[in-house]
Chains A and B, each alone.
Chain A
Amino acid sequence: MKKRNLSEFMCIEMLYDYKTGNLDSLRKQAVEESLQESPRAREELRKLTVGMSYTDKLQKTIVTQPLVDYILHQPKPTEKFFSKFRWDVFPQPVRWALESIVVAVAIALFVTQAPELFKAIGKKEEGGLVIKKFDIQSIEPKEGSRPEAPASKVAEKQAEPEKETLPTSKPLVMAPAPSAEPVAQPQTKPQEASQASAQVEAAEKKVKKGNAYLYRMVMQSTNVEGVTPQVVTLIQSLGGEKAGEVELGWRRKGGSYFHFSLPKVANQTFLDSLKKIGQFSISKTSHPRIMPEDKERFILWINELKPEGNHDQPGADENKTSTGASPEQNVPENMETD
């Protein structure tokens, strides 16, 4: 094999490997030969040797044990943070200020949230009232007891709005309390009693399943006098009955008022027929009073519009087009709609 001489550049580049003994014997020999010929390579080797001897000295630098211990016992960043913000580290005025802020926030929260809380509790209690419907025919009347009204009527009375006592006030017949036993129950035989209780439960379930909502409607009309009888006739023809104490189409200042119940099946017919009489808006709102399953409750207010453009009643134009403006907004505020 022909021997190849190294260039000066190659020799200089290989000096570190030569010095650290990482060259094979052939390369090592070639570098040594090149070193004899090149003074620059020799100078580079000298510098390398000096540098290595310097680093050998530098390597003897000692890291002391106290430093190692100090590094080993350095707290973590989280520990450092918490140690800085320890409660007892703060000056007394800062602590007082923080305490007062906490107390102020607590009071503010209590004052703002407590009414809501009590309100919620009140609602819960109100919701706990159970309306029971009794079938009077299945219960034998007790001697001396006075069957003033059928049970269905009693339940209806219970379902009637308490506020609607405007024209006349009839004596109300109270339904028996849920916890009280039925009037004639002690005299019934055990089997009849169980049947009666089953019927009561069934009736109760039926009532619970009923409609707990109300339709609120507002109609705008320039001819309330003419429209009111039409609407009364329509309601009555569809089997509707007044729901409150006032008669259907009760005239008040600025319009007429209808509070009635309607068979559920007649709902669509009623709405279609009412459209022919005039434009109206309707909204379905939840109501705690429960209606029988086959009936729905309506409150209709026919608002009287002046024949010419009337700017006193904001929202009149919107209601003409039934754009969904809230019907409650159009009903006079002093009206007991319920």
Chain B
Amino acid sequence: MNEAQIRSVALFFFYTFLDKDLALRATVEALRLIEKRIKGRGISDSRNPILVYSTFKIWKKYSKKKNLKLQNSEFTAEGWIVPGDLKMETWRQFVKEAESSLSLAVIWSKLLGFADKDIAEGLGQTEGSVRYRVGKGLKHLGYIASPSGGLG
């Protein structure tokens, strides 16, 4: 695992859970799963489809435990630095309102910059489905972020 991939996984869980402790724990577990899959497949370096598959699997696991009280992690420093001019409330509302498949597709495609092909391979779906979800998700996000959406 290289550092860029670790950052991608950490960002994914930060955006999906919006909870630092949960994101940290899920990141560690997802990275372990990725390493395991890479060893199992005998691939020297991890690929984006494996990242997509593993993050999705861990996300499913932790999204059920989201309301559980977790122990505070030992990591107290600032882990994620959000741009100052960004309204996180918009994203929070988007994650809350939109279907999870849309928000996840937007994260993989637009925030982490994975190709539609890799996302489709990781999820076992078609590229068209991925593109449709990303487009729909972006429109929903734009609606929330725009002045008419109430939070713009």
Contacts and interface: CB of A to CB of B under 8 A. Distances in A.
Note whether A and B form a binding pair: yes
A48 B81 contact: no
Interface stretch (A60-68, A206-214, A312-320): A60-68
A57 interface: yes
A44 interface: yes
A64 B141 contact: no
Given A55-B141, A63-B7, A68-B6, A46 B78 contact: no
A71 B27 contact: yes
Contact of A54 (B11, B14, B145): B145
Given A58-B91, A59-B110, A47 B143 contact: yes
A51 B145 contact: yes
Contacts, number: 117
A51 B24 contact: no
B131 interface: yes
A50 interface: yes
B87 to A, nearest CB: 9
B113 to A, nearest CB: 8
Contacts of A76: 32
Interface string A75-98: 010000000000000000000000
B10 interface: yes
Contacts of B43: none
A67 B20 CA distance: 11
Contacts of A61: 11, 14-15, 80-83, 86, 111
Interface stretch (B52-60, B118-126, B132-140): B132-140
A71 B139 contact: no
Interface string A3-18: 0000000000101110
Interface of B: 3, 6-7, 10-11, 14-15, 24, 27-28, 31-32, 75, 77-83, 85-86, 90-91, 106, 110-111, 113, 131-132, 134-135, 137-143, 145-146, 152
For the complex of A and B, the 3 pairs showing the least CB-CB separation, nearest first, are: A16-B135, A51-B142, A47-B142
Given A56-B110, A67-B10, A71-B10, 6 more contacts: A47-B143, A49-B142, A50-B143, A57-B85, A61-B15, A67-B79
